[in-house]
Amino acid sequence: MNDILNVRIKAGYGTEPILEDVQFDLQQGERLGLVGTSGAGKSTLVLALMGLLPWRRGWIKGEVVLEGVNLLALNERQARQVRGKRIALVPQSPLSALNSALSLQAHFEEAWRAHEEGGGNRFRARIKELLQKVRLPAEGHFLSRKPGEISVGQAQRVVLALALLHRPSVLIADEPTSALDPSTQVEILELLRQSNREDGTTVLYISHDLLSVLQLCDRMAVLQEGRIVECLPVDRIEELARHPATLALLRTLPVPPSVLRKYAERRVASPSTSQGLLQFQAPQGAATQASVSPDKPSGGTNPSGQPSEIIPFSPQSVRRSTTSAY
């Protein structure tokens, strides 16, 4: 397999480095999970990869090479041509990512115009195809609704469809299930897997939820105190894990990773039933436990204790989010 993304960066805010030395490669068509405790720098990494860190008064050094192009060497106009087209984002909180004043149709039109001109028929065909893919109604009455008139699960499907609109090479999913109920979480993970399998979309899945990472991903990287301390194939994680941060995360699991993999495989073999995963997810405390590592970094926990704010995926939402962020 070929590398599609090579990341070698340091990044931070003001004089404080948050990502001390983050290095990883993403291969074409793979699903890489990046797991880290609260404050480890996951959101900062997402901002860095999307070229949005300067909007949050952050800085970045090094290189983010996507399909041979160093994104950090692009000017803002060039970066906008890549963002949302070659690399796209599914953010954490779908409703915050959507503009409450605009219809869903207007969101799709705006995201389309960001990278395409004209193409009325192509646009309509693509929207229909996408809505079917994410299992939303493709009728006009649904698209005429505003974000406040759909459920959070539907909003996350809309956001996923928007991110997939231009068939990005790399899809970054930043804790995309954290606002969802367990059954919708399973469905969104399945949609990510489906997009990866059917369209070859390379997925960088960022989460503090080890269970979902083990179920979705081929490899798992562990971010701790601004460094990737270990990156391992998920199917051999018990055998190969050495770093204390990885071992501490694994110890929080209620069952061994190999059992989890079996559930995930059963789910893929029989996608019409989510029962296997749902049964496993029923003890929700387990998922919560797994997301909190006892090996928590000593420095730099987000003072609010809340997940970081939404990272936008379109020029319009960049403006809105930036305004609301300060």
What are the residues binding ligand ATP (CB under 6 A)? Answer: 13, 18, 36, 38-44, 56, 208, 300, 302, 307-308
Instruction: Provide the minimum distance between the beta carbon of 73 and ligand ATP in the complex, in angstroms, as a whole number.
Output: 23
- In this complex, which beta carbon is closest to ligand ATP, that of residue 35 or of residue 66? 35
Instruction: Provide the minimum distance between the beta carbon of 206 and ligand ATP in the complex, in angstroms, as a whole number.
Output: 8
- In this complex, which beta carbon is closest to ligand ATP, that of residue 44 or of residue 246? 44
Instruction: Provide the minimum distance between the beta carbon of 89 and ligand ATP in the complex, in angstroms, as a whole number.
Output: 14
Q: What are phi and psi of 115, to 5 degrees?
A: -135, 0
Instruction: Provide the minimum distance between the beta carbon of 303 and ligand ATP in the complex, in angstroms, as a whole number.
Output: 6
Do the beta carbons of residue 215 and residue 208 sit within 8 Å?
no
Taking the C-alpha atoms of residue 221 and residue 65, their distance in angstroms, rounded to an integer, is 18
Instruction: Provide the minimum distance between the beta carbon of 139 and ligand ATP in the complex, in angstroms, as a whole number.
Output: 36
- In this complex, which beta carbon is closest to ligand ATP, that of residue 40 or of residue 165? 40
Residue 152: DSSP 8-state: H
Determine how β-strand 227-233 pairs with β-strand 219-224: antiparallel
Give the type of residue at 224: Q
E strand or H helix at 88, and its extent?
A: strand 87-90
The 10 Å Cβ neighbour count of residue 67 is 15
Instruction: Provide the minimum distance between the beta carbon of 53 and ligand ATP in the complex, in angstroms, as a whole number.
Output: 9
Do the beta carbons of residue 231 and residue 36 sit within 8 Å?
no
Instruction: Provide the minimum distance between the beta carbon of 246 and ligand ATP in the complex, in angstroms, as a whole number.
Output: 16
- In this complex, which beta carbon is closest to ligand ATP, that of residue 107 or of residue 208? 208
The token pair at 249 is 């995360």
Instruction: Provide the minimum distance between the beta carbon of 176 and ligand ATP in the complex, in angstroms, as a whole number.
Output: 13
Do the beta carbons of residue 174 and residue 88 sit within 8 Å?
no
Report the phi/psi class of residue 302: left, alpha or beta, with left for phi > 0 and alpha for psi in -120 to 50.
Answer: beta
In the three-class reduction of DSSP (H, G, I as helix; E, B as strand; rest coil), residue 86 is classed as coil
- In this complex, which beta carbon is closest to ligand ATP, that of residue 90 or of residue 104? 90
Minimal CB distance residue for ligand ATP: 300
- Which residues have a Cβ under 8 Å from the Cβ of 146 and sit 6 or more positions away? 100, 101, 102, 103, 104
- In this complex, which beta carbon is closest to ligand ATP, that of residue 164 or of residue 172? 172
Give the chain's radius of gyration (CA, Å): 19
Determine how β-strand 170-174 pairs with β-strand 58-66: unpaired
- In this complex, which beta carbon is closest to ligand ATP, that of residue 125 or of residue 325? 325
Do the beta carbons of residue 203 and residue 169 sit within 8 Å?
no
- In this complex, which beta carbon is closest to ligand ATP, that of residue 274 or of residue 293? 293
